[in-house]
Amino acid sequence: MSWHLQHCSSKFRHVYGKVASKEKCYSCVPITLSVHDNHFCAVNPNFIAVVTECVGGGAFLVIPIKQTGKLDPYYPKVCGHKGNVLDIKWNPFNDFVIASCSEDATIKIWDIPNQLLKRNITTPTKELRGHARRVGLLEWHPTADNILFSSGYDYKIMIWNLDVKDAVLLSPVKILDIHKDVVLSMSFNTDGSLLATACKDKKIRVIDPRAGIVVRETSYKSHRPNKVLFLGNTKKLFSTGTSWWNNRQIALWDQNDLSAPLMEEDLDGSSGVLFPFYDSDTHVLYVVGKGDGNIRYYEITPEKPYLNYLTEYCSHLPQKGIGTMPKRGLDVAACEIFRFYKLIPTKNLIQPVSMIVPRRSETYQEDIYPLTAAAQPALTAQQWLNGINKGPILMSLKPGFGAMNSPLVFLDPEPFTKALELSEGEGGRMPLEEEEKPRAITEGRKRPKPERDLPQYEETCLSNGFDIFECPPPKTENELLQRFFQQQEEIRRLRALVNQKDVQIKQLVLELRNIKMDPGSY
Strand, helix or coil for residue 343: strand
Q: What are phi and psi of 217, to 5 degrees?
A: -155, 150
For the chain, 522 residues long, give each residue's pLDDT as a single digit of tens. 434 444 557 888 899 999 999 999 999 999 998 888 999 999 999 999 999 988 778 899 999 999 999 999 999 999 989 999 999 999 999 999 999 999 999 999 999 998 878 899 999 999 999 999 999 999 999 999 999 999 999 999 999 999 998 999 999 999 999 999 999 999 999 999 999 999 999 999 999 999 999 999 998 888 999 999 999 999 999 999 999 888 999 999 999 999 999 999 999 888 889 999 999 999 999 999 998 899 999 999 988 889 999 999 999 999 999 999 999 999 999 999 999 999 999 999 999 999 999 998 778 888 899 999 999 999 999 999 999 999 999 999 988 774 333 333 333 333 333 333 333 333 343 333 333 344 333 333 333 443 334 334 333 344 444 444 445 677 676 677 777 777 877 888 888 888 888 888 888 887 787 777 765 554
> Are 374 and 397 contacting, i.e. CB atoms less than 8 angstroms apart?
no
Q: Give 153's contacts (C-beta < 8 A, 6+ positions apart).
A: 131, 133, 134, 135, 136, 182
Strand, helix or coil for residue 320: coil
State the DSSP string of 64-110. Answer: ETT--EEPPTT---EEEESS-EEEEEE-TT-TTEEEEEETTSEEEEE
Q: What is the largest CA-CA distance in the chain?
A: 102
Q: What is the pTM of this model?
A: 0.76
Q: What is the Cα–Cα distance from 23 to 104, expressed in whole angstroms?
A: 37
Strand, helix or coil for residue 515: helix
Q: What is the Cα–Cα distance from 261 to 191, expressed in whole angstroms?
A: 24
Nearest to 216 by CA among 256, 245, 251: 256
CA angle (85 as vertex; 80, 87 as ends), nearest 5: 125
Per CATH, which fold does 16-373 belong to? Answer: Methylamine Dehydrogenase; Chain H (2.130.10)
